[in-house]
């Protein structure tokens, strides 16, 4: 058995045990083919990233599941890895090179990629080192990276197969374009922010007839690319003009007025300008009506040749100049200030420009059908189930996926173009020449969207397309734990690709966690400066405290608020458990070996019943992913039942019955060891430290078996202890009401409602006497007509009453004056609140929460007055 220091130091303990676990190989699966398999692949954090509290929560959830199933005896794998984070990593290295006076375009693509790999080797593992600090028991021997050789092979294989199946094509389409990063972006790489803007109403004159149509726009610079004006087909204001034409101011282009049900008659005037090359909805409308696409903003954010006199201006400069020219032309009818959502590049913050460009796409509709069926049939389940609706809605309205990015870092698209005949060859390996004309070929310059490789993560990390042992044993995986905000962009794509390429679901359960917000409920962000660095929290309080604080406040799918106070409370819990086990350890004789316990007294039977209930509930809740409820169960058991009650009761029992101390110590060790196992998935470090200090079997708690409920004979221990605890709490409350010093012993009178209750109390009379600090206790049954003591405080408990005579322990006159003064203050406050609630204007005008709070305050004051009146009567 290991000795425990006088004080718990999370910093010393956590590093020691993580190293121990890793060196012993406990994180690796057993590879036992006869054992049930449980596997998770870690959602790969960006190689550029650092741990934030959302990561901390998700990794804690996964670690709880892994440690739980490992202790159940399952063949358990948690596979870690990182994502290459194409655009973000390129920006990081680009910025580093620029600080050294180096332009990546001057050194060329190959030299730049070499620089990225060097950067990755030096800095790319920081987030994984932080995952270690959190205590994640991942199998580091299976660490994967989305750009490593095996995964790159899988990416190429998937691209080629999809292309051969006609599910990948190249074409012109509108995409999110960052004019700073110079690449197309996925929807998830666009952050929308509410910003002030201006809705400008412009008169488009009718062609060859009198009159005009007024359209409203927030982006007047795009009007140079207008190819139609659209109205709703049923809008009576414009119905007579459908098929007519208008002229675009400034450029005098004649464009048609078309009817389309997409148009919202309530927006602006009900007539909208259509710019297919610069708006995704206009693009769709243009496709339906065969409108030309005129691109007036280039990939660099400057106006193109199609913009005429505005060519070369930055888009913001062009907007200002165009508004000035429109004002001079007299076609601005009015302008309205508004707040609208504007998309920004997640990486650099630049305002996104929707542009039509030549890109590679995946036809997703054929892939979505079986992915939808897998969820509808229950083959894949969402926790919470309500998120199935979000998944289903997106899959039913899915659009083709733009998978090409105009950057250098990433999986380069395996498409090769002939320099002579322009034949396109998609191949697993680069061809030496064109298969048609045998001319020289060059590879596509674009790389694949990072999400393309991430979509293969559950099976590519297991060795696919090779038929590996890991793929056969651990795929499909058991659970995917991730955030609900990437259902569309990652979860759905993994389901589609997993089913298509392996014929099996990638995971059985999609477990979704919410956001961790700040203490005010706000989303954490750099702009608000309200982010929390988990490493700072771990340095101060320890990983166990952070883990428990996050889990106690969590429930699948729900957001939670972070607070330092919760982490402090979790740290105090760790110290309380540490000191309790240290007390047990200090009382064990040298060479102590626990004996087979006999539960022949009430407190022993009661604590094992409580342990059984906790074990049963926790096992069920962990299987149902109710981590918060499971954590609360073991927290309450250890804090209340074991530390505050059982240990205190055993102290008295061993003093009163020293001949049974060996059995009592064995019981203390047995219950502690079982409880530490239950706590281990939540607080792995402190539980290992404490478990090693007690008599135990095996080398580590993390590979010890998960507890099972103990067989107990039928008994009344729970009922007896409920009555005893209620009695003790009531007596303690009476002491507190008159501020008795803890060491002052007093007389109590206990009156039971019936003989059975009295027998239950007297069974634990010695414990009751010590725990209420009684000098003596008189015991009575109510039916015997026990007289109520004069000037005594009365407390009602389960099964009877408790009396604390006040004569000789307090100054009755002083106490009467204090109670009377408190009653007067409470009455004045009650009258104030009742007057406020009687005011009709207050009830009508005050916010509902304010009125509700006043009503709640009134009820509390009424209850307080009742208690004070009872106290006054007791003092008479």
Report H helices in 35-174.
53-71, 86-99, 104-107, 109-123, 126-134, 149-164
Per-residue CA distances from 756 to 184, 762, 783 (Å): 79, 10, 12
pLDDT at 606: 97
Task: Name which of 487, 455, 478, 483 is nearest 389 in CA terms.
Answer: 487
Mean pLDDT, the chain, as a whole number?
A: 93
Span 650-700, pLDDT tens digits: 999 999 888 888 999 999 999 999 999 999 999 999 999 999 999 999 999
Using the CB atoms, write b or e for 696-714: b if 16+ within 10 Å. Answer: beeebbbebebbeeeeeee
Q: With respect to CATH, is domain 33-147 assigned 3.40.50.620? A: yes
pLDDT at 1 over 70: no
Q: Thinking of the domain 813-875, which architecture would CATH place it in?
A: Orthogonal Bundle (1.10)
pLDDT at 168 over 70: yes
Q: What is the mean pLDDT of residues 213-217?
A: 94
Phi-psi region of 744 (alpha: psi -120 to 50; beta: other; left: phi over 0): beta
Residue 46: half-sphere exposure toward Cβ, Cα within 13 Å? 15
Name the most confidently modeled range: 61-75, 476-490, 740-754: 61-75
CA 510/CA 390 separation, integer angstroms: 13
- Compute the residue count for the chain: 876
Question: How is residue 240 annotated by DSSP?
Answer: G
Cis peptide before 248 (omega within 30 of 0): no
Span 109-149, pLDDT tens digits: 999 999 999 999 988 889 999 999 999 999 999 999 999 99
The answer to which of 353-367, 371-385, 821-835 has the lowest mean pLDDT is 821-835
Q: What is the mean pLDDT of residues 240-269?
A: 94
The answer to whether the annotation marks 334 as part of a ligand binding site is no
Bridging pattern class, strands 144-145 and 81-82? parallel
Span 397-450, pLDDT tens digits: 998 999 999 999 999 999 999 999 999 999 999 999 999 999 999 999 999 999
pLDDT at 565 over 90: yes
The answer to which of 14-18, 649-653, 858-862 has the lowest mean pLDDT is 858-862
Q: What is the mean pLDDT of residues 566-577?
A: 97
Class of domain 183-354 (CATH, top level): alpha beta
pLDDT at 259 over 80: yes
In the structure, what pLDDT confidence band is assigned to residue 787 with cuts at 50, 70 and 90? confident
Q: What is the mean pLDDT of residues 801-825?
A: 83
Phi-psi region of 226 (alpha: psi -120 to 50; beta: other; left: phi over 0): beta
pLDDT at 33 over 90: yes
Residue 642 CA, chain-centre distance (Å), reads 31
* H or E segment to which residue 843 belongs: helix 840-845
pLDDT at 347: 75
Q: Where is pLDDT greater, at 818 or 406?
A: 406
Using the CB atoms, write b or e for 69-103: b if 16+ within 10 Å. Answer: bbbbebbbbbbbbbbbbbbbbbbbbbeebeeeeee
pLDDT at 785: 65
pLDDT at 591: 85
**Three-class SS of residue 170?**
strand
Bridging pattern class, strands 507-513 and 381-383? parallel
Burial zone of 812 (CB within 10 Å; 0-12 exposed, 13-18 middle, 19+ buried): middle
pLDDT at 529 over 90: no
Domain ranges of the chain: 33-147, 183-354, 562-715, 718-810, 813-875
Beta bridge partners of 183: 178
Bridging pattern class, strands 404-405 and 447-448? antiparallel
Task: Name which of 683, 752, 685 is nearest 720 in CA terms.
Answer: 752
CA 750/CA 247 separation, integer angstroms: 97
For the domain 562-715, what is the CATH superfamily, name and number? Isoleucyl-tRNA Synthetase; Domain 1 (1.10.730.10)
Burial zone of 829 (CB within 10 Å; 0-12 exposed, 13-18 middle, 19+ buried): middle
Q: Do domains 183-354 and 562-715 have the same CATH topology?
A: no
Q: What is the mean pLDDT of residues 364-381?
A: 97
In the structure, what pLDDT confidence band is assigned to residue 578 with cuts at 50, 70 and 90? very high
Is residue 275 within 8 Å of 225, Cβ to Cβ? yes
Tokens in use for 579?
Answer: 């000191």
In the chain, the N- to C-terminal Cα span, in Å, equals 60
CA 17/CA 20 separation, integer angstroms: 5
pLDDT at 485: 85
CA 546/CA 569 separation, integer angstroms: 10
pLDDT at 382 over 80: yes
pLDDT at 387 over 90: yes
CA 364/CA 768 separation, integer angstroms: 71
CA 681/CA 572 separation, integer angstroms: 18
**Three-class SS of residue 600?**
coil
Is residue 347 within 8 Å of 189, Cβ to Cβ? yes
Residues 6+ apart with CB under 8 A from 644: none
The residue to which tokens 């428990």 are assigned: 548
CA 324/CA 1 separation, integer angstroms: 84
The residue to which tokens 């070929």 are assigned: 441
Per-residue CA distances from 475 to 40, 179, 494, 800 (Å): 9, 41, 13, 60
Residues 6+ apart with CB under 8 A from 775: 745, 746, 747
* Phi, psi dihedrals of residue 357, rounded to the nearest 5°: -150, 165
* Phi, psi dihedrals of residue 399, rounded to the nearest 5°: -115, 160
Residues 6+ apart with CB under 8 A from 373: none
Tokens in use for 242?
Answer: 């459908």
CA 526/CA 332 separation, integer angstroms: 39
Q: With pLDDT > 90 as the criterion, what percentage of the chain qualifies?
A: 77
**Three-class SS of residue 381?**
strand
CA 738/CA 740 separation, integer angstroms: 6
R_g over Cα of the chain: 36
pLDDT at 594: 87
Tokens in use for 634?
Answer: 């073991």
Tokens in use for 853?
Answer: 């709070």
Residues 6+ apart with CB under 8 A from 170: 358, 359, 360, 361, 415, 424
pLDDT at 468 over 80: yes
Instruction: Concatenate the DSSP letters of all residues of 707-722 into one string.
Output: P-PPP-----HHHHHH
Is residue 686 within 8 Å of 692, Cβ to Cβ? no
């Amino acid at each position: 058995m290991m000795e425990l220091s006088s004080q718990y130091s999370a910093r010393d303990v956590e590093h020691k045990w993580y190293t121990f676990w890793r060196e012993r190989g406990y994180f690796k699966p057993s590879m036992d083919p006869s054992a049930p398999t449980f596997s998770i692949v870690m959602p790969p954090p960006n190689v550029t990233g650092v741990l934030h509290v959302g990561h901390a929560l998700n990794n804690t959830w996964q670690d709880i599941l892994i440690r739980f199933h490992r202790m159940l005896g399952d063949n358990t794998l948690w596979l870690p890895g990182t994502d290459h984070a194409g655009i973000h990593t390129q920006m990081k290295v680009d910025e580093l090179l620029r600080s050294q006076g180096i332009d990546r375009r001057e050194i060329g693509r190959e030299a730049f990629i070499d620089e990225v790999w060097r950067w990755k080797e030096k800095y790319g593992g920081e987030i994984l080192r932080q995952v270690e600090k959190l205590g994640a028991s991942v199998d580091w021997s299976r660490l994967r990276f989305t750009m490593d050789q095996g995964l790159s092979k899988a990416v190429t294989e998937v691209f080629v197969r999809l292309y051969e199946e006609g599910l990948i094509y190249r074409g012109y389409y509108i995409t999110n374009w960052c004019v700073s990063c110079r690449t197309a972006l996925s929807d998830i790489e666009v952050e929308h922010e509410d910003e002030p803007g201006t809705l400008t109403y412009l008169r488009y004159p009718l062609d060859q007839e009198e009159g005009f149509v007024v359209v409203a726009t927030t982006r007047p610079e795009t009007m140079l690319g207008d190819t139609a004006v659209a109205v709703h087909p049923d809008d009576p204001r414009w119905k007579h003009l459908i098929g007519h034409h208008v002229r675009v101011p400034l450029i005098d282009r004649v464009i048609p007025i078309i009817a389309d049900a997409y148009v919202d008659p309530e927006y602006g005037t009900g007539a909208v300008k259509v710019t297919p090359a610069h708006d995704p909805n206009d693009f769709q409308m243009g496709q339906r009506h065969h409108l030309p696409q005129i691109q007036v903003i280039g990939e660099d954010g400057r106006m193109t040749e199609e913009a005429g006199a505005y060519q070369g201006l930055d888009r913001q400069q062009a907007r200002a100049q165009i508004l000035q020219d429109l004002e001079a032309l007299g076609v601005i009818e009015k302008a309205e200030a508004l707040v609208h959502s504007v998309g920004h590049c997640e990486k650099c913050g630049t305002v996104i420009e929707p542009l039509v460009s030549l890109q590679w796409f995946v036809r997703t509709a054929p892939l979505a059908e079986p992915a939808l069926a897998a969820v509808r049939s229950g083959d894949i389940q969402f926790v919470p189930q309500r998120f199935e609706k979000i998944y289903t809605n997106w899959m039913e309205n899915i659009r083709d996926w733009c998978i090409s990015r105009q950057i250098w870092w990433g999986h380069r698209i395996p498409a090769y173009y002939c320099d002579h005949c322009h034949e396109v060859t998609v191949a697993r390996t680069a061809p030496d020449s064109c298969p048609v004309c045998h001319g020289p070929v060059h590879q596509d310059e674009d790389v694949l969207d990072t999400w393309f490789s991430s979509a293969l993560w559950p099976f590519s990390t297991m060795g696919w397309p090779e038929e590996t042992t890991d793929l056969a044993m651990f795929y499909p995986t058991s659970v995917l734990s991730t955030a609900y905000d990437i259902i569309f962009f990652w979860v759905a794509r993994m389901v589609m690709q997993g089913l298509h390429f392996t014929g099996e679901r990638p995971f059985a359960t999609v477990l979704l966690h919410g956001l961790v917000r700040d203490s005010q409920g706000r989303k954490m962000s750099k702009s608000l400066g309200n982010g929390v660095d988990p490493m700072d929290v771990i340095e101060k309080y320890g990983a166990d405290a952070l883990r428990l604080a996050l889990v106690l406040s969590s429930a699948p799918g729900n957001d939670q608020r972070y607070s330092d106070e919760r982490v402090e409370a979790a740290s105090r819990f760790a110290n309380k458990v540490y000191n309790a086990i240290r007390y047990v350890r200090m009382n064990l004789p040298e060479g102590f070996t626990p004996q087979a316990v006999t539960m022949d007294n009430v407190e022993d039977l009661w604590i094992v019943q409580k342990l059984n209930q906790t074990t049963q509930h926790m096992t069920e809740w962990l299987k149902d992913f109710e981590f918060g409820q499971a954590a609360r169960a073991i927290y309450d058991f250890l804090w209340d039942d074991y530390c505050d009650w059982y240990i205190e009761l055993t102290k008295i029992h061993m003093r009163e019955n020293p001949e049974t101390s060996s059995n009592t110590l064995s019981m203390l060790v047995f219950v502690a060891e079982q409880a530490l196992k239950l706590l281990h998935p939540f607080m792995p470090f402190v539980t290992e430290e404490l478990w090693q200090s007690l008599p135990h079997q095996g080398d580590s708690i993390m590979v010890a078996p998960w507890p099972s409920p103990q067989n107990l004979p039928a008994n009344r221990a729970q009922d007896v202890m409920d009555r005893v605890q209620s009695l003790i709490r009531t007596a303690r409350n009476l002491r507190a009401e008159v501020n008795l010093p803890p060491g002052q012993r007093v007389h109590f009178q206990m009156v039971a409602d019936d003989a059975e209750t009295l027998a239950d109390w007297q069974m634990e009379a010695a414990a009751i006497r010590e725990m209420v600090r009684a000098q003596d206790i008189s015991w009575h049954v109510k039916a015997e007509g026990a007289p109520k003591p004069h000037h005594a405080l009365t407390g009602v408990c389960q099964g009877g009453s408790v009396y604390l005579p006040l004569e000789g322990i307090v100054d009755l006159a002083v106490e009467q004056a204090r109670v009377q003064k408190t009653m007067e203050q409470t009455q004045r406050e009650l009258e104030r609140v009742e007057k406020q609630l009687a005011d009709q204007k207050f009830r009508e005008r005050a916010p509902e929460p304010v009125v509700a709070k006043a009503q709640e305050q009134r009820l509390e004051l009424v209850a307080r007055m009742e208690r004070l009146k009872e106290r006054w009567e007791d003092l008479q």
